[in-house]
Structure 1
Amino acid sequence: MAKLAGSRGAAFCRKPDLSRAGVLLHGPDAALLGLRRRDLVAAVTEGDPMRLTRLEPEAVRRDPAALDTALKARGFFAGRQAVAIEGAKDALTQILAPLLGTLTPDDAFLVVTATGLGPRSSLRRLFEAEGALLAIGLYPDPPDAAEITGRLAAAGGPRRLSQEASGRLETLAAELDPGSFERFLEALALYAQGAEELSAEDVAALSPQGAGAEVDLLVGAVAEAQAVRIGPLLARLAAGGTAPGSALGAVSRHFRRLYTLAVAPRGPMAAVEALRPPVRGPRRDALLAQLRIWPAPRLETAQRTLAEAERRLRSPGEHPEAALVERILLRVALMAARN
């Protein structure tokens, strides 16, 4: 089946196989899909915006011929064209199926993004089954050391990382939301341009330590049922420029990590000891204390609550973002308090 995930999917987006006719990027995080779509389109079009055509799903449904025309068009500019459809649903499957089977490497490269597609999605099955197509599942797990190194190199930075620099970057990747970490890597690549190896000092020079420390405090307050601290911490983060949605994302990622540790086959203690980069000292003690007060079933409920809040923030319409995030984090903290 034609599908990729994780670091292999991210690597494909940076350096795609242009013998393919098109790619479906799917996963729960719209921001992450947007980042990888940007990488893929830039690689296909060599950064030339005149070689990209954007189409809305509803427009394609109303006029399938417009998509066929865009895919078969030959541009005025040399190089492969690209057609992007964002926010696709299964309703597009019947429209796309007869068109995609006729595409060749001379036609435009189709990039489709979609959130909320389950394993039985007809759109996923279409891209997984058709030999010239590819489905890439993208999930908000922090990038590993190899992916971080690749992204730095692609942005013009050093191709080697010291061991300490690699560990610090993996920690930051787990703490920051994907968009913030991406911007940090771009700034870091520019800062260290020309260096043969990235050092820990380079990372420290640009690390968002102030915001990171505040976010750590917020994550700890939620995970340790310290509900009274949540409101003031959110206010301080907002004053420092951290969006409520980013704070929510950090808490959500931490709870996914707690759940993974809680259900580890050899037990939470062994799972914490096996973490890479290692977690030691007060951070290790705090992690173990949180695992003692959060049984796996309650962690699962907390994850669902946080994920639903993230979906609400990404959905169209007006949302009182700060109020919604504070209410959800208080609800989660109180789950632990009842334990």
Structure 2
Amino acid sequence: MAQKKAGEVDAFLSRPDFSYPVILLYGPDPGLVSERAATIAGHSGIDPSDPFASVSLSADELEKDIGRLYDEALTVSLFGGTRLIRVRGAGTGKVLSEAVATLSEKKLEGAILIVEAGDLKRNAALRLSVERAKFAIALPCYQDEGRALDRMIDEEFSRAGLQIDREGREELKSRLGANRMASRGEVEKLCVYAYGTERVTADDVAAIVGDVSADAVDEAIDATISGAVKKLPALIERLTDAGTPIFQLQQNLLRTIQQLTAMREIVERQGEPVSRVVERRRPHFKRKAALETALASWPLDALARTARRIETDILRSRKENQMALTITRQMMLSIAVEAAKNRRG
């Protein structure tokens, strides 16, 4: 079996063992997976800008034309040397899993295949095919926590010649972690902002670094319940690009609909004004208008029906994990469309 535990991956990254020419990286954070794949690719010494030596392929495309992967992996370079093949977006696709298993049976000559996948379960075909192969290795990648996040911060601050005080570090860590690449981008932005100062403080962090997920989640939920249909697709894309877990969107939306249901009961059965009911909840000022719009336009029976629909879609997305994002996006958009109709009616 060729696999590393999560705590052993950093050591492998510092000195990749290319006696395993097929390398699978998987985990829930696509930014971390991609960053680690890039690190391994960098150690290969192959120029990523050379189209004759390096190629990037999409897992979705390969499911339709797997012959392309065999061609790239088994073709000898016209100019000699090793070729680098990166496959992005792999998951539970049967065709790709079988191809990777076949390519791992014998040692690839003249090629390195790096496969980037999502959070694969223990019994996922792609993961099993690599773990059981003699000439392949599987590397689990998990989200920034503790020392890993501190190490990334230290790397960027050292590169910029800056220091950060203890309060500033804790404030910065509280705003990072949803996605390794997004987190690193926020730290780089902070370093540019603080250039020329002796020490970065918590105030500096608060001034320049946004929470990479919480505020955007609230904004997407508010757009859904208030019927801001045109605004919603970009918000969902922003969250998924930052690596925000799908279940976080689902659970926050369900919780908000449940809260609206309780509030609407007061409006309909006790006759209290919408503004007073919302005010009693003491929402953040940024969310107040959306909550008032939603509470004024959603009937009680529609809220109950919507809550049941969300619960059904959550269960469906867990059974069909590869479709979770599509299911959630369609769910949020259809709820937003209904909210817009309610508002106009």
State the TM-score, normalized to the length of structure 1.
Answer: 0.56
1:110 aligns with 2:110: no
Shift of 1:3: 2.8
Which runs of no fewer than 5 residues in structure 1 stay unpaired? 223-228, 258-281, 283-298, 332-339
Give, as a single letter, the amino acid of the residue that structure 2 aligns with 1:99. L
**1:17 equivalent in structure 2:** 16
What is the CA–CA distance in structure 1 between the aligned matches of 2:188 and 2:23, rounded to whole Å?
25
What is the CA–CA distance in structure 2 between the aligned matches of 1:7 and 1:75, rounded to whole Å?
38
Give, as a single letter, the amino acid of the residue that structure 2 aligns with 1:100. S
Runs of 4+ in 1 over 6 A off after TM superposition: 193-197, 254-257, 299-303, 305-310, 328-331
Shift of 1:207: 0.9
In the TM superposition, what are the counterparts of 1:295-306 in structure 2 within 5 Å? Answer: 304=315
Q: How many residues align?
A: 270
SS of structure 2 residue aligned to 1:134 = strand
SS of structure 2 residue aligned to 1:99 = helix
**1:54 equivalent in structure 2:** 56
Give, as a single letter, the amino acid of the residue that structure 2 aligns with 1:186. E
In the TM superposition, what are the counterparts of 1:89-238 in structure 2 within 5 Å? Answer: 89-103=93-107, 107-115=110-118, 117-139=120-142, 141=143, 143-155=144-156, 156-157=159-160, 162-174=165-177, 176=178, 180-191=182-193, 199-208=201-210, 214-215=215-216, 217=218, 231=224, 238=231
1:325 aligns with 2:327: no
State the TM-score, normalized to the length of structure 2.
Answer: 0.55
**1:73 equivalent in structure 2:** 77
Q: Report the CA distance shift for 1:133/1:203 in structure 2 as closer, same or farther (over 3 A).
A: farther
SS of structure 2 residue aligned to 1:180 = helix
Give, as a single letter, the amino acid of the residue that structure 1 aligns with 2:22. G
**1:2 equivalent in structure 2:** 2
What is the CA–CA distance in structure 2 between the aligned matches of 1:82 and 1:306, rounded to whole Å?
34
Q: Report the CA distance shift for 1:75/1:189 in structure 2 as closer, same or farther (over 3 A).
A: farther
What is the CA–CA distance in structure 2 between the aligned matches of 1:158 and 1:256, rounded to whole Å?
41
**Partners of 2:101 and 2:129 within 8 A in 1:** yes
Q: Report the CA distance shift for 1:163/1:254 in structure 2 as closer, same or farther (over 3 A).
A: farther
Q: Report the CA distance shift for 1:65/1:180 in structure 2 as closer, same or farther (over 3 A).
A: closer
Give, as a single letter, the amino acid of the residue that structure 1 aligns with 2:123. R
Identity %: 17
Q: Report the CA distance shift for 1:66/1:253 in structure 2 as closer, same or farther (over 3 A).
A: same
What is the CA–CA distance in structure 2 between the aligned matches of 1:180 and 1:310, rounded to whole Å?
23
**Partners of 2:223 and 2:231 within 8 A in 1:** no
What is the CA–CA distance in structure 2 between the aligned matches of 1:145 and 1:313, rounded to whole Å?
28
Shift of 1:112: 0.9
**2:86 equivalent in structure 1:** 84
Give, as a single letter, the amino acid of the residue that structure 2 aligns with 1:91. V
**Partners of 2:27 and 2:140 within 8 A in 1:** yes
Q: Report the CA distance shift for 1:169/1:14 in structure 2 as closer, same or farther (over 3 A).
A: farther
What is the CA–CA distance in structure 2 between the aligned matches of 1:5 and 1:328, rounded to whole Å?
41
Higher alpha-carbon Rg = 2
SS of structure 1 residue aligned to 2:66 = helix
Q: Report the CA distance shift for 1:302/1:186 in structure 2 as closer, same or farther (over 3 A).
A: farther
What is the CA–CA distance in structure 1 between the aligned matches of 2:6 and 2:176, rounded to whole Å?
14
Deviations 1:262-303 (A, max 9, x none): xxxxxxxxxxxxxxxxxxxx9xxxxxxxxxxxxxxxx99896
Shift of 1:48: 3.8
Which runs of no fewer than 5 residues in structure 2 stay unpaired? 253-281, 283-309, 339-345
Shift of 1:203: 2.6
